[in-house]
Copies of this chain bind each other. A is one copy, B any other.
Amino acid sequence: MAVHVLAVLAYKEGDRVTSAFLAGSVNTNPVIIRRLLLSLQQARLVDTCKGAGSGSRLNRSPGRINLAEVYRAVEEAEPFGTPARKPNTACPVGHCIRKELDRIFASAWKAMEQDLEKTSLADVITAVKASGACTPKKVV
């Protein structure tokens, strides 16, 4: 959803876009978009203004925003769930495995992050525009 929103902002090339408009593209509620934009603002990816006739726009050029940044801005948790209950510390495996799993998962997450870094928002836009030939319908 975050990538979708940023892609629309990139598509509009610096014009300010309202949360209502973005919600229309993602097909959701403006409030959901605003909550998402708050995260993106904290990550300095977008610039949002209140007031009549304003809205949000990208804070950097699409070529200088990669998807790893977007992921970090939106998903604070790692994709691996940490169980609520602590393992049984009386068991030698249970006592030590969490630390080891943390190491392994951090490494796996880093590998994924490095892959996401290879793709910029500009790449996404380029691909969307290229495959966009299939639908000449233009509403924006």
Contacts and interface: CB of A to CB of B under 8 A. Distances in A.
Interface in A100-122: 100-101, 103-104, 107-112, 114-116, 119
A115 B99 CA distance: 18
Contact of A87 (B4, B107, B140): B4
A53 interface: no
Contacts of A100: 124, 127-128, 131
A27 B85 contact: yes
A92 B3 contact: no
In which size bucket is the chain A interface?
35 or more
A27 to B, nearest CB: 5
A139 interface: yes
A67 interface: yes
A25 B93 contact: yes
A132 interface: yes
Contact of A97 (B107, B128, B134): B128
Contacts of A139: 90-92
Contact of A25 (B94, B116, B132): B94
A104 to B, nearest CB: 6
- 10 shortest interchain CB distances as A-B pairs: A79-B79, A111-B115, A25-B91, A112-B112, A90-B139, A25-B94, A108-B115, A100-B127, A27-B88, A96-B128
24 contacts: A3-B97, A4-B94, A8-B91, A24-B88, A26-B85, A26-B88, A27-B88, A67-B104, A79-B79, A89-B135, A91-B139, A92-B128, A92-B129, A92-B138, A95-B132, A96-B127, A96-B128, A96-B135, A100-B127, A103-B127, A104-B124, A110-B115, A111-B114, A112-B112
